[in-house]
């Protein structure tokens, strides 16, 4: 196996590479140019990696990163007898990896001839006839004109050597040269699709298509003092009227003249005295961020007094304007992020080196979560090591035990006495004992931890509860259905269904105690008064009286900073908290799985047929023509029936089994890797029966 490393050996720009015979020193194109003076050898590192007759047989500190000098000289002698098929000169050291192909080239000539060089495994090379290619799914419509997602120039959506596309989404197309520049700059840790932000599958495909991804930090991380501006703290009062005699730029270390920065953007500030803040208050939001978070209007500009403008130098004014414009762009990009991306960002606060043991006993997941929250040494920044009583401890925090624990926890919370109402549209209840025990805060903390640790989407908040939680204006008043099957719902229904003034007065008398507590008592003079009574009772029960539980729930949800992100992205997170309007579909499930085809042409043809069987089977499950459901198929592959809010990790994948006698082979599952293996079978009916048997067998075993 060839290995890639960086070198510190001296370079001579005047010497030519002994393999490609070029003096060019272009690390991005040909790799590092390395000179070994004692042996008078100069070589491009990529020329060594791609040469067909030399391998790294030494240690890392021997020769050139493991390429022994004797082996390099032997490769020089071998290639000196081979003629390049492009420039017709001798010294061609790179050959097509297909054994039946005899094409030989120099590395630079191969690039001109559109060879593909794969920087992985044994570093194979492929000529124009045998190189890997991409394909466009028939079901993905192309929108023209398209633009390169890197340079933004217009691009013709026709796949070729120079035009590539992202394998994960249908909207990211780019020039080969552009994506190579991006890979060189972003490197392994930051190189991902600029549209869908996929990393693992995207990098795997780019390596297959010959894109070199350096194994180092991104170029911007390596610059000296690259982030020095982040060390500057904003120290300026932006209040409409600054009362400080020392001016807007003065900031005391404490007291009323200390500048407090905006809790959202950090690039606006005010003296405590200028905004009437108490000495203990340190959470203040500027006008722009308040408007953006509440959705009142577009972001307004910061207001300044005419007297304050001349006192600011032009350099300071330029710096402030750039800071604010950058903030607007950043906030806009945050709003465009998916909840999964935001949750994955929050999960970066969790240390995988330290874990908290979680033991689920017979009393259930809720009690287990409560025990760890009430533990004096609890911190949300540690991973969770989950095990069920009687089972073995699992060392992998992203194991099946963790998924099962989070699924049980969310289910117990939504069915607890803290929530009421129909399934999938729950509202918060007022429980005095839960208030005394501070359970509302604990539940908020549990839900936040579940979402960040890879738990399922909640999907049980009513729209009214979600908007009340975020203090958003309700588009419509709460309805009787929001109450569910409760005693109060019966009394409210009697008032709503009253058809005469006598029936209405009788219904009001039966609910008089509740009306008195709610402050809704009034004389009923006409039948139309019932609508006002019903609205008042519903608003009091579902909004007004649960103000304190809502507040504690908000504070619990802000564990790991989740609620702050929800406030900045309310529409995106509504799909996580509230029940979605559409059910899971066959296309959705199919798109979750990355299909791993074989490199062998004959096997790939068979696998393509089985992939068609797989998609047909999913559609029949959606239409109810199979013994299994789409949710059961997800459980078979991943052990969960819905995609986690944070997304699957690793990405679900499908590969294929090629046994000699495939008739008796059943589909296999690797749920810890979100992977299933489909057998190559001769007919769809046989494939369907095998899938149904395997999935149903698992369903029966789990129900025991």
Instruction: Give pTM, 2 decimals.
Output: 0.49
Dig out the tokens for 457 from the structure: 């989407």
Q: Do 93 and 53 touch, CB atoms closer than 8 A?
A: yes
Report the C-alpha gap between 369 and 358 in whole angstroms: 8
Residue 231 tokens, joined: 């060390």
In a domain, 138, yes or no: no
CB 17 within 8 A of CB 33: yes
Distance separating alpha carbons of residues 520 and 513, to the nearest angstrom: 10
Domain final position from 222, 245, 265? 222
Terminal Cα distance for the chain, rounded: 48
Copy the structure tokens of residue 98: 């297909």
In a domain, 240, yes or no: yes
Cis peptide before 446 (omega within 30 of 0): no
pLDDT for the residue numbered 142: 56
Residues 570 and 428 in one domain: yes
Confidence at residue 332, expressed as pLDDT on a 0 to 100 scale: 33
DSSP state of 231: G
- CATH number of the CATH domain containing 92: 3.30.40.10
Paired residues of 163 in beta bridges: 175
CB-CB contact of 32 with 5 (8 Å): no
Number of other CB atoms surrounding residue 509 within 10 Å: 11
Residues 86 and 169 in one domain: no
Give the residue, 602 or 170, on which the prediction is more confident.
Answer: 602
Q: Read off φ and ψ for residue 355, nearest 5 degrees.
A: -135, 155
Clarify whether residues 666 and 699 are in a common domain. yes
Q: Give the model confidence (pLDDT) of 430-484 as tens digits.
A: 888 998 899 999 999 999 999 999 999 999 998 888 888 887 655 556 677 666 6
564 and 632 inside one domain: no
Structure confidence at residue 620 as a pLDDT band (50, 70, 90): very high
Q: Is residue 559 part of a domain?
A: yes
**Looking at the structure, do residues 32 and 99 belong to the same domain, yes or no?**
yes
CATH of the domain at 169: 3.30.40
Task: Report how many domains make up the chain.
Answer: 5
Do residues 570 and 597 share a domain?
no
Summarised one tens digit per residue, pLDDT across range 334-391 is: 334 689 889 998 988 988 888 889 989 888 899 999 999 988 888 899 989 888 886 5
In sequence order, what E strands does 481-590 have?
Answer: none
Whether 62 has a pLDDT exceeding 90, the answer reads: no
Q: Is 632 helix (H, G, I), strand (E, B) or coil?
A: helix
Q: Classify residue 107: in a domain, yes or no.
A: yes
- Give the pLDDT confidence score for residue 569 in this predicted structure: 86
Q: Give residue-wise pLDDT tens across range 568-612.
A: 888 889 999 998 867 789 999 999 999 999 999 999 999 999 999
Of 306, 336, 366, the domain-final residue: 336
Token pair, residue 64, equals 């050139």
For 679, other C-beta atoms within 10 Å of its C-beta total 21
Which ranges constitute the DSSP H helices of 39-152?
45-50, 69-79, 107-112
pLDDT at 495: 80
Asked whether residue 11 is assigned to any structural domain, the reply reads no
Distances 350 to 309, 560, 567 between C-alpha atoms, Å: 44, 9, 22
Nearest to 207 by CA among 217, 219, 218, 215: 215
At 97-149, the pLDDT tens digits run 988 899 999 999 999 999 999 998 889 999 999 999 888 765 555 555 578 99
548, 419: one domain: yes
Helices (H) and strands (E) in the chain, counts: 26, 20
**682 falls within a domain:** yes
Same domain, 542 and 675: no
Q: Which residues partner with 41 through β-bridges?
A: 36
- 683 against 664, higher pLDDT: 683
Q: Domain boundary residue among 553, 581, 609?
A: 581
Q: Is residue 293 part of a domain?
A: yes
Q: Are 259 and 249 in contact (CB under 8 A)?
A: no
Q: Check which CATH number belongs to the domain holding 681 and give it.
A: 3.30.2410.10
Residues 428, 457 within the same domain: yes
Residue 668: domain span: 586-703
Give the closest residue to 663 by CA, choosing from 683, 693, 692, 677: 683
Residues 414 and 530 in one domain: yes
Task: Of 135, 116, 111, give the one whose Cα is nearest residue 126.
Answer: 116
622, part of any domain? yes
Three-state SS sequence of 247-262 = CCCCCCCCCCCCEEEE
Output 213-217 pairs: Cβ under 8 A, ≥24 positions apart: 213/119, 213/183, 213/187, 213/188, 214/183, 214/184, 214/187, 214/188, 215/4, 215/187, 215/188, 216/6, 216/187, 216/188, 217/187, 217/189
Q: Indicate whether 547 and 410 sit together in one domain.
A: yes
Q: Closest Cα partner for 169 from 204, 208, 144, 140? A: 140
| Claim to verify: residue 404 and residue 551 sit in the same structural domain | yes
């Amino acid at each position: 196996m060839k290995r890639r490393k960086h070198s510190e050996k001296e370079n001579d720009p005047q010497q030519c590479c002994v393999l490609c015979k070029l003096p060019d020193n272009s690390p991005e194109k040909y790799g590092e140019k390395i000179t070994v003076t004692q042996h008078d050898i100069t070589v491009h590192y990529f020329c060594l990696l791609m040469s067909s007759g030399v391998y790294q047989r030494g240690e890392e500190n021997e020769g050139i990163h493991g390429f022994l000098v004797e082996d390099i000289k032997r490769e020089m002698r071998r290639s000196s007898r081979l003629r390049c098929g492009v420039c017709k000169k001798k010294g061609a050291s790179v050959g097509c990896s297909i054994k039946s192909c005899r094409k030989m080239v120099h590395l630079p000539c191969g690039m001109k001839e559109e060879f593909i060089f794969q920087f992985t495994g044994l570093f194979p090379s492929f000529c124009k006839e045998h190189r890997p290619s991409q394909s466009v799914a028939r079901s993905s419509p192309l929108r023209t004109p398209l633009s390169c997602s890197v340079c933004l120039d217009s691009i013709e959506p026709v796949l070729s050597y120079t035009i590539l596309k992202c394998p994960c989404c249908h909207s990211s197309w780019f020039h080969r040269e552009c994506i190579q520049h991006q890979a060189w700059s972003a490197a392994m840790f930051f190189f991902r699709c600029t549209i869908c932000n996929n990393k693992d599958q995207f990098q795997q495909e780019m390596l297959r298509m010959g894109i070199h991804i350096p194994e180092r930090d991104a170029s911007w991380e390596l610059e000296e003092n690259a982030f020095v501006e982040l060390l500057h703290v904003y120290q300026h009062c932006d209040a409409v009227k600054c009362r400080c005699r020392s001016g807007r730029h003065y900031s005391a270390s404490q007291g009323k003249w200390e500048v407090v920065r905006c809790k959202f953007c950090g690039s606006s500030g005010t003296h405590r005295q200028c905004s009437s803040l108490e000495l203990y208050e340190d959470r203040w939001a500027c006008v722009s961020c308040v408007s953006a978070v509440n959705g009142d209007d577009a972001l307004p500009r910061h207001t300044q007094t005419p007297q304050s403008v001349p006192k600011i130098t032009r350099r300071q004014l330029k710096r402030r304007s750039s800071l604010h414009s950058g903030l607007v762009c950043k906030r806009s990009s945050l709003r465009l992020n998916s909840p999964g991306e935001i949750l994955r960002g929050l999960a970066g606060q969790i240390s995988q080196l330290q874990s908290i043991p979680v033991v689920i006993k017979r009393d259930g997941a809720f009690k287990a979560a409560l025990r760890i929250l009430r533990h004096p040494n609890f911190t949300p920044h540690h991973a969770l090591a989950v095990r069920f009583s009687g089972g073995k401890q699992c060392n992998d925090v992203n194991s099946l035990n963790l998924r099962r624990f989070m699924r049980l926890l969310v289910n117990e919370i939504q069915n607890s006495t803290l929530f009421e109402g129909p399934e999938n549209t729950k509202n918060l209840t007022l429980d005095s004992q839960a208030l005394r025990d501070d359970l509302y805060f604990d539940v908020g903390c549990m839900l936040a931890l579940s979402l960040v640790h890879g738990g399922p989407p909640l999907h049980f908040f009513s729209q009214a509860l979600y908007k009340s939680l975020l203090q958003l204006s309700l588009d419509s008043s709460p309805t009787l259905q929001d109450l569910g099957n409760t005693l109060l719902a019966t009394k409210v229904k009697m008032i709503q269904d009253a058809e005469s003034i006598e029936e209405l007065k009788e219904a009001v008398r039966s609910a008089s105690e509740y009306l008195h507590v709610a402050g809704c008592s009034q004389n009923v003079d006409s039948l139309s008064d019932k609508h006002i009574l019903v609205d008042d009772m519903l608003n009091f029960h579902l909004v007004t009286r649960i103000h304190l539980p809502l507040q504690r729930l908000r504070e619990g949800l802000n564990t790991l900073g989740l609620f702050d992100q929800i406030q900045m992205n309310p529409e995106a997170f509504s799909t996580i908290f509230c029940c979605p309007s559409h059910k899971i579909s066959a296309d959705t499930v199919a798109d979750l799985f990355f299909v791993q085809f074989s490199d062998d042409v004959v096997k790939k043809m068979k696998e393509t047929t089985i992939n068609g069987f797989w998609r047909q089977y999913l559609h029949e499950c959606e239409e109810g023509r199979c013994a299994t459901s789409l949710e059961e198929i997800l459980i078979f592959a991943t052990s969960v029936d819905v995609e986690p809010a944070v997304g699957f990790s690793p990405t679900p994948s499908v590969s294929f089994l090629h046994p000699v006698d495939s008739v008796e082979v059943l589909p296999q599952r690797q749920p810890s890797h979100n992977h299933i293996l489909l057998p190559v079978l001769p007919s769809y009916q046989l494939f369907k029966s095998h899938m149904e048997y395997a999935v149903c067998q698992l369903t029966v075993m789990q129900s025991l």
